[in-house]
Structure 1
Amino acid sequence: MRAAVLREHGEPLDVTDVPAPTLDSEGVIVDVEACGICRSDWHAWMGHGEWADDAVSPGQILGHEPAGRVVDVGDSVETIREGDRVALPFNLACGSCGYCQTGHGNVCTGDHPHALGFEQTAQGAFAEQVHLPSADYNAIRLPDGVDPRDVAALGCRFMTAYNALDARAGLRAGEWVAIHGCGGVGLSAIQVATVLGARVVAVDVRDEALDVAADLGAEVLVNAAEDDPVAAVRDATDGGAHVSVDALGVAETCRNSVRCVRPRGTHVQVGLTTDAEKGEVSLPTDWMTRHEISFLGARGMPPTNATDLLSVLASGAVDPGTLVTKTVSLDEVPARLAAMTDYGTVGVEVMTR
């Protein structure tokens, strides 16, 4: 099969012929119909993560936001059948450890947790086919009539945004939420917040991204290149956001997000850091203590919770397809990944052929 393979960090992915994935008894093989191109792929391509022993090795097939059709099923799989259309979570879980069994498979600590597209044991979906292990637990069966392009746009970004705002922060109707960084996950968070009935302040340095944020329901737009984002958010929300999200992952946006919440407010960290921060950001801890500020992390979504999100998708309450600004072929993926280096993409781009 053909796939886009990482040969050297920062160099174009090699689109070439590779062996097809091997089926195990608890897994399924999926024909990839669509796969989102995510900033996490860019981090992997650039070689980020060595500070956490998490850098992706050469030889890796990237791509972690796929949807497709099951074409082969392992002997031990009970709930998934050939022909089923499924989405794959990037946080592949074992399905049997204590965290999986209590509905938190996104932080699985079992014998076989994998990050799809980031580990040699979990080759990704910038390819014609991909293997899904522990399919009975990990496979997310799609509702009828859902476009695989839209599911790929959900990808890790929508799942992470939904988990961050609903499960982690407990965002409620009428509350203010500030979204720092209007890339794929930030724009997804705006849609999720709107569905939850919250009021949104969108923060970015690009007017084009802020225009998209407004179309998705953001009430207040802050260009951080022109205005102090902390002061602007505090003014707009009468004292600070109830919840704030750093959807970018640089030190400045993280600290801005923390500083713009009101007393007893909540910051949620979604964006991963770059090699400038190397996983560490200094924070105003005394101020956070004084005002009882909560700092939370959010990573993906437990596969067991995905049914709720897909129900929202099927109802039409959210439309991830509106975030898709470009569909590309496998051959175009290397260039589109490289375009993220200078923030040359807007919205979500999806490989569909």
Structure 2
Amino acid sequence: MTQKPQEFPIAKARDLVKDLYLPNPWIYWSDFLLSAGVGWGAFIIIFRVPQFSFEQGFSFFIAVLALYRAALFIHEIAHFKKGSFVVFRKVWNLICGYPLMIPIFLYQSVHFDHHKQNFYGTQKDGEYFPFASKGRLFIALHIVFSIFIPIIFFFRFVVLTPLSYLHSGLRNFLIQKISSLNIDLNYQRARSSLAQTKGWQIQEILTCIYGMSFIGLIKFKIMPAKSLIIWYCLLTSVFIVNSIRTLAAHRYLNTNENELSFTDQMLDSINNPGNRWITPLWAPVGLRYHATHHLFPDLPYHVLGKAHRRLLKNLGKDSLYGKTVFSGLWPVISQLWKYSGKQKLIC
């Protein structure tokens, strides 16, 4: 690891944000329910307006953005303290997790590993891939792969889940390779990781039931067949937007996937305050303050902006913390594109 001239003053930073750790349940509930309500409402409108009309296109656009925001509350759920927001977790699964085929257990624990200092950026971190050294093809493939994710998870839960209970080999494959939301396709989830997620098998079965019910409603013509196509297009769009967001969450410069220091982890992460109206559309639920989040993972999403402004004001724009700040999506993506293929960026 290249020696850094200074280390991040974590004690001072903690003191600056120590009063911001209390989550506001009203904000969580109102934001999530409004996002989900608008999203599913727009989804229904898609079927009630003329096909290929402006109204249908606009409804689809709103559905994607609203359900994308609602879905990304899974990130907050992964950081909830044990025993807190119990009802919220269940409602999120019922409204988003099960119908979108992304129940909480796919992210729980896996994301916790992403925040471990000895895991971050290494092969044990399923949410990290050294794009900067792997070449531009992998950046493109990361985005393109989004079109397959809805199909993979739908098939995983509706078809493979019941079959896996009859075949141990298939069961092991599902657990290791198709039981996590990750960006590193080489990542294998350990059974011990799932064991930390209470009730994950119940979530798995309920997601399977949701999927089978969806097929049943179409088969008996209670829902139109095109609803499955619209569902796929909507979820694919959500995953595409999220894939672009993840490319702008870190610099991905840990070429050799070595363990990084706390300071280097922060410098490998990105804050993108951007425009107050546009940026939250592609980086909602506080995710535009990703470096701040990695510094203080337990801060509620609704205070990350305030925490960022305090830290920047007190530590300075020229500080180590200031180096995490970018202005807009394009500068981040263009830098990653420029660096991709280079070797020994971090040794």
Q: TM-score, normalised by structure 2?
A: 0.27
Q: Which of the two has greater helix per residue?
A: 2
TM-score, with normalisation over the residues of structure 1?
0.27
